[in-house]
A and B are shown apart, each in its own frame.
Chain A
């Protein structure tokens, strides 16, 4: 293994060199081939078929932020997976939801989680929320080569800013461009429909419970119009993943809680398939 292959078995010099608190920086010096961005890409033409994750939505409310995602992964017109998980805790006060090539995205999240944890252990303090958002930006940018071959990863990052005491959302583009979103945001193939739904339903004074209902409504609308987004699957008991981040930290709603929200929405939609109506004026 990395340390033990050396003849003496001692920690290699790179491990004991004082320097960056970043795990990615350490990897790029010690084992650059392990960084996703440093892989040699074969020069083939055409698109690689790989499962893609679809819709992620986020909504802020006074005191926190909600991040949620549907459960479908698609490969062309095939449903590759019905119960994929696309929303992950990044650390105690932030979470990341991924849309795009599932395999690469999951690896990126794993590295991102480690990057934050590594910094925290080495420095004894957490990165600021902006700092975390910027690290994620760098990781997406390093994936640009893959993105140009059709293997893009476009996450949504949400967290509770302990300094400003509010929930914040950051969205990204394939080149790593980062922008802070106010109120609500969505990414992935169903994001257009989800954003339309949220635009009509969002208010500044949502409670946590209303915010979780709002994201599931938005995912329902996305699934309604986008074939790559999965709606609540009552028969298989597969419901959206809903996570809440407040000053108490990250919390993922249990299956019972999210199924309860989805079932209530479903019951209303049986009478009114297009969902709640907003006022005309």
Chain B
């Protein structure tokens, strides 16, 4: 009989964390920022069909960096959780805090269970409130912890550097166009400090817009509207783009009931 090879628990956990972190670092970074009328999600994504951001519920959005199949699984799990909860109780009873808790438990259990490979994902769950003070942003690292974030958050490969950059420059009450430009600026910074250009076609942008008349506040920003926001100068151009945001076609329903 052979003696089992001893690995200290500290070492085992450190190895698993290292494994997950490396996996996440391979993915591109994404940022989530508060702006005056809501929360904006910005990331570099060459794919038009595979999204990094998506709608979970009326006021709740989801962003993920890391391994696609794993976060897609968690995303669908979250949609099912939210829809079931809203069906059982009421639409108002679905909250980002509840969802973040369930995600944290899920990631935490998987991370510490020896039988499962840790998930190589980092999630952001955001809920837009009636006012900027009511906005909630939660960051969920691979190990099941929850970080309550304010203002701006970055996840993915280059996250530390990007969030450092954002923390210095992000302000409360920025317009959508300002926040978007800041986000793109942050994402364009490479690990070695140099800057590169990210064309609008490679950006994935979505907002949770509290001024949307519909019950569902999540909306993707694409095409002409995106390029207009990226080039907008000053306040006048911004408000024009924002009025466009309300009238544009979107996946939603129940404008009134």
Contacts and interface: CB of A to CB of B under 8 A. Distances in A.
B159 to A, nearest CB: 25
Given A16-B77, A26-B80, A118-B83, A11 B253 contact: no
A251 B109 CA distance: 46
Interface string A90-119: 111000000000000000001101101110
A42 interface: no
Contacts of A250: 253, 255
Interface in A1-38: 1-4, 8-11, 15-16, 18, 23, 26-27, 30-31, 34
A89 B103 CA distance: 32
Given A2-B88, A10-B106, A11-B106, A126 B257 contact: no
Contacts of A116: 253
B237 interface: no
Contact of B109 (A4, A10, A113): A10
A93 B81 CA distance: 25
B252 interface: yes
Given A15-B77, A124-B54, A23 B83 contact: yes
Nearest to A249: B255
A18 B73 contact: yes
A2 B106 contact: no
Interface residues of B, number: 34
Contacts of B76: 15-16, 18, 122
A121 B55 contact: yes
A90 B77 contact: no
A252 interface: yes
A120 interface: yes
Contact of B88 (A10, A15, A34, A90): A34
A239 interface: no
Contacts of A34: 87-88
A170 interface: no
Contacts of A30: 80, 84
Given A15-B80, A16-B73, A118-B79, A92 B257 contact: no
B109 A8 contact: yes
Nearest to B79: A121
Contacts of B54: 121, 124
Contact of B101 (A9, A249, A251): A9
Contacts of A18: 73, 76
B254 A89 contact: yes
Interface in B92-119: 101-103, 105-106, 108-110
B105 A10 contact: yes
Summarize A's interface: helix, strand, loop or mixed: mixed
A9 B253 contact: no
Nearest to B252: A92
B256 interface: yes
A89 B257 contact: yes
A157 interface: no
B210 to A, nearest CB: 19
B251 interface: yes
Nearest to B82: A121
A11 B102 contact: yes
A118 B102 CA distance: 19
A88 interface: yes
A31 B88 CA distance: 11
Instruction: Pick the most buried of A8, A9, A10, A16: most chain B CB atoms within 10 A of its CB.
Output: A10
Contacts of B87: 23, 34, 110-111, 114
Nearest to A110: B87
Interface string B58-92: 00000000000000011011011101111110000
B229 to A, nearest CB: 22
Given A8-B105, A11-B106, A124-B54, A3 B81 contact: yes
Contacts of A10: 102, 105-106, 108-110
B51 interface: yes
A120 B57 CA distance: 11
Contacts of B108: 10
A250 B79 CA distance: 24
Contacts of B252: 92
Nearest to B103: A11
Contacts of B187: none
Interface in B207-232: 216
Nearest to B85: A1
Nearest to A14: B80
13 contacts: A1-B88, A3-B102, A11-B74, A11-B105, A16-B73, A30-B84, A90-B253, A91-B254, A114-B83, A121-B54, A121-B55, A126-B251, A250-B253
